[in-house]
Amino acid sequence: MVLLRSEGLRELEEYLKEHTFDSVEDAFEYLWNNQKDALAAMSQQSSLDNYEFGSESKVAPEQEEAGSVPASEQAPSVPEQGRCSEASYEEIAQNGKKWMREEVMVAFNKYIEDKDDFEDIQYEFDELQHQCFSVENYHKIFHHFNFTVKMKVNGSADWTSALFFAEVKEIFRQKIYFCTPLELYENGHCDACKKQGMDDLRHPIIGVYDRGNPDTEFPFMYGCDADGFLYDSE
């Protein structure tokens, strides 16, 4: 059992070393290049298959006299067969941001569900400011966020914006949400975010959230600000 777990940790470390990027753009560029390589390989294999099939077929005399058909007329180019456009690249980034917005609002709604102060308050998501994703082990990962929520009293035209901290933690595939407002100068300690250079991501001074393990080092943790992810902390 211990050998299997050690082997699993080794595989996870190798995977994270090969799939750690400085920004979300680098991560998507990696996926884009891999897809292009895969399409090129498929096209090459298709050409080989066509060549092998054609070598066994007889060529009609009129085709021999007319000469070979230009390659552009024989088969569509790789981009025509399958292509991931820049719109798709942007769509992946937007989907990631949309998912994070939804997660922080789930945490926010859990925070206010038992609070009478919010009964007469209208609110909506405002901005995702910072986020940091940490992997402590196979069965424990957590995601820290700073985000703002716009709020106003029912019937009022004046909106205000408040800063919140949220944690989405997953232990043995079970999600645990934590959310709390942050005071103006509040900035609690978090080993997980600090080790990844996320000094701008603020934490509550007190609260039931994961501050990381002081002994856990990269590559089992990686993070970013609101517009990127998976960067090397070294």
In a domain, 125, yes or no: yes
Q: Is 221 helix (H, G, I), strand (E, B) or coil?
A: strand
Q: What pLDDT is stored for residue 78 in this prediction? A: 46
In a domain, 3, yes or no: no
Higher-confidence position of 193 and 29: 193
> Which helix (DSSP H) or strand (DSSP E) does residue 28 occupy?
helix 24-55
Long-range pairs for 214-219: beta carbons < 8 A, 24 or more residues apart: 216/134, 216/136, 216/191, 216/192, 219/13, 219/16, 219/17, 219/20
Q: What pLDDT is stored for residue 92 in this prediction? A: 82
Cα distances (Å, whole numbers) of residue 129 to 20, 45, 171, 177 = 21, 46, 25, 18
* pLDDT greater than 80 at residue 199: yes
Instruction: Label residue 32 by pLDDT band (50, 70, 90).
Output: low
Tell which phi-psi region holds residue 40, choosing left (phi > 0), alpha (psi between -120 and 50) or beta: alpha
In a domain, 170, yes or no: yes
* pLDDT greater than 70 at residue 140: yes
Q: Tokens in use for 53? A: 């099939």
Q: What pLDDT is stored for residue 91 in this prediction? A: 84
d(CA 126, CA 112): 16
Length of the chain equals 234
Highest mean pLDDT of the ranges 39-43, 48-52, 194-198: 194-198
The domain tally of the chain equals: 1
Instruction: Label residue 106 by pLDDT band (50, 70, 90).
Output: very high
DSSP letter for 69, please: P
In a domain, 158, yes or no: yes
What is the mean predicted confidence (pLDDT) over 189-199?
Answer: 91
d(CA 45, CA 50): 9
To the question of pTM greater than 0.85 for the whole model, the response is no
In a domain, 39, yes or no: no
Query: Kindly report the CA angle at 15 between 190 and 178, in degrees rounded to 5?
Result: 30
Instruction: Label residue 34 by pLDDT band (50, 70, 90).
Output: low
Asked if residues 123 and 62 have their Cβ atoms less than 8 Å apart, the reply is: no
Q: Count of alpha carbons within 13 Å of 106, Cβ hemisphere only?
A: 12
Highest mean pLDDT of the ranges 77-81, 135-139, 180-184: 180-184
Q: What pLDDT is stored for residue 139 in this prediction? A: 80
In a domain, 76, yes or no: no
* pLDDT greater than 70 at residue 170: yes
Domain extent at residue 113: 86-225
In a domain, 124, yes or no: yes
In a domain, 24, yes or no: no
